[in-house]
Each structure stands twice: as structure tokens, then as C-alpha cells.
Structure 1
Amino acid sequence: MQGETIPHAEKVFSLFQPHTEWISKGKASAPAYAGFAYIPVGKAGVPVELGLRVCIVENQYRFILHHQVMEKTTDAQIAVALVEQAQARFAAVKAMSFDKGFHSPANQTELKQHLENVILPKKGRLSEADKSRESDPEFIRLRRQHSSVESAINALGVHGLDKCPDHGIDGFKRYVALAVVARNIQRLGSILREHEQQAADRRRGPYKKAA
């Protein structure tokens, strides 16, 4: 009003959920988070994202070990704290793969003090040292496993975390935490079904071809 420019930090994007943040102005976000609310406004076919980012840490067995609701913060700002919090619960965590959004020179250095293997691709142009680091076989091997986290993100979204029906920031955090618990229970059930199927296959024995 009257030509006034409102600082971004003071803008309110929802009268009913004041914790709502502007996630994207129309470009798809990197699939590192769950819990986004997609509001189809703006240009046709280009969604604007409003909601809150949620970062998850998944292990090699596809269980979610830790999650964090990101209030007014960026990927790079939470990287070190995320590792510290995950290791406080699971001391055996010695390697972790990140999206490029978590990169910063400081994170590259500090994360090495907490992890034996830091799989953190650099954004933008790579130096010769960066190219050498990212072409290391161990870096490549662990980086390839990173894409599996997308299945957890998709599962959270498909089972209701694309929209939070609860109210307030405490309700949002509670809903996210319950969704993570539900996802881990679902994963446990999937493993049990696989074991039962394998046991049934062993009891039945190998199939014999007809003469």
C-alpha cells in the first residue's frame, strides 16, 4: 500500500497458519524434503509452493533416523546441526550424503570433523580438487545410494504429508513426527513381508520344469 515495500521476513502468507513460508516462486524444488504444500497459483502449469520444508535423514535400510522442520532457515544453515542431532541418537552414523543445497565451504570443512565420509557435491563450477574428490569411487558409490531417499519422500507425500490438516506450528511438527513414525512402521512391515515370502519360497523349494 502507498508504494511501501514490505521486508520478506515480515510478510504473512497465511492468516490461518502464520508459520507458512514462501518456498518457491514457481520452480520445482530439489526433492530433498517432504511436507511441502503445493498451491496452484501464479503462471499456468507452474506451481507456487507455500508451506514449510522438512529435512529427513534416512539410513541404508530406508528407515528415517531423524527429521527437522525448517523454520526460516536454509539447507546450508542446518547441515552441521543435522549431523550432530542424528549422531546423538545413532552414534554409528559415520557417513552421510547431502544434496547440493547443503553445500558451503564452511560445511565442507566442518562436516569432516563429524563424519568419516562426507558426500556433499559442490554447487557451480568445480575446481580440480573438487573434481578429484567427487570422482573418487567411494564418493560415487555413496552418492548413487542417495537417490533412494526419494522413495521415503514420495511415501510421506502419498500418505498425507503433502498437506497438513493440523493447526499451528506445534500441530505441524506433531503431524510430521507421526508421519515419520508411520513411514518407519510401513517400512518394517515391508521387510517382514519380504522375509515371510522368502521363507515360503524356501519351504516350497525350487520349481521343476515339466519334462
Structure 2
Amino acid sequence: MRKVIEPQMQLGELPIGGIELDPRSRDDIPQILRGLQHLYTTPEVRAEVFAILEELVPERSTETGPEKVDVENGRPGMSQWNLLVLGVLRLGLNADYDRIRELANEHKTIRQFLGHSGWDDDTSYGLQTVRDNLSRFTPEVLDRINQVVVRAGHRALKKAWRTVSSAAVTRSWWRPMFTTRPTPTCCWTRSAR
């Protein structure tokens, strides 16, 4: 049975919104994780993204051709949230499956985002599991998710713009036009005379 996200947290597991990321880091991994953290903590965006992720059901080959796997039966697969985290990292870092497997198994912060507690969780991702699951997370799927995120950003910007008073914006915009500043004098212009 595939789940969008595991509803029951384990002992030692941190909520996604409570994971601390270094704000001064210039590396690309914390920046990607910060975006995923915002996506997860915004319920309306998260619902739209998870609706897209639910379409990524694996297929099995039969005599009549490929058919979708029954998501209600069978062994548990990788959750859709883990698929999103690892898929965005793979496409955002332009990394191969070996690097994503190494990050998923060894990087502490990424493991926290995947829902693994630090001290008693020995969950390990195999290369074939990573390859099979992330092969469905294509750039087209990421583009659809990006469209959802961009629309949410526009809605947030529009909401923030409405809260700002138009009079305050007009005053602060016109003020620099009517103030005069003295022209700076350089030391070499005086000595050249």
C-alpha cells in the first residue's frame, strides 16, 4: 500500500516544519530543502502537489500490456513525500541515482526530511529501489509541481500587496523624487584646479 506520507510519527522523528536548516549555508541542498519545507507547511499547496504525486503509480507488465498497480494492496512502497524529496533533489542537483542513494542513506538532514529518526532508525535505501521509484519522477512532473508552487507564490504576493496601504506606497515612492541631495565632491577635483 502506497501512502502519500506516513501519518504516525515515530519516536525521535521531527516534524518537517521543525527541522532547522542553516540560513547562512550557500550550498544548494539546504536551499532545496527549505523550499520543500515551505511546500509541506503550506496545506493548500501541499494538497495540490500530493494530488499530482498520487498519479505516479507504478505499472506492472501483464499479457495485455502495462497496467497500474493496486495501491491498496501489496507491500508498502516508498511514500509519495519521500519520492518528492528524493526526486526534487535528483533533478535540482542534477545527480545520478548513486548520489541520491548515498544522500538518502547518509545525509542527516535529508534523512530527517524523509522521516527517519536519528538514533534507532537503520532504514536503508537500495539502489534499485531508488532507481525504480525516481524514474517515475520526470522533469515533466516537476514542471507541473513548479506550476502549482508558482501559482501559490503569486497568490501570496497578491495577498501581501493588498495588505500594504496604497497611500503608504505612494508616499514612499514619491519621496525620493523631491528630495535633493548635495553632490559629493571628490578630492582629486579640488587638487586638479
TM-score normalised by the chain length of structure 1: 0.24
Structure with more of its chain in strand, by fraction: 1
TM-score normalised by the chain length of structure 2: 0.26
Higher RCO (C-alpha 8 Å, min separation 6) = 2
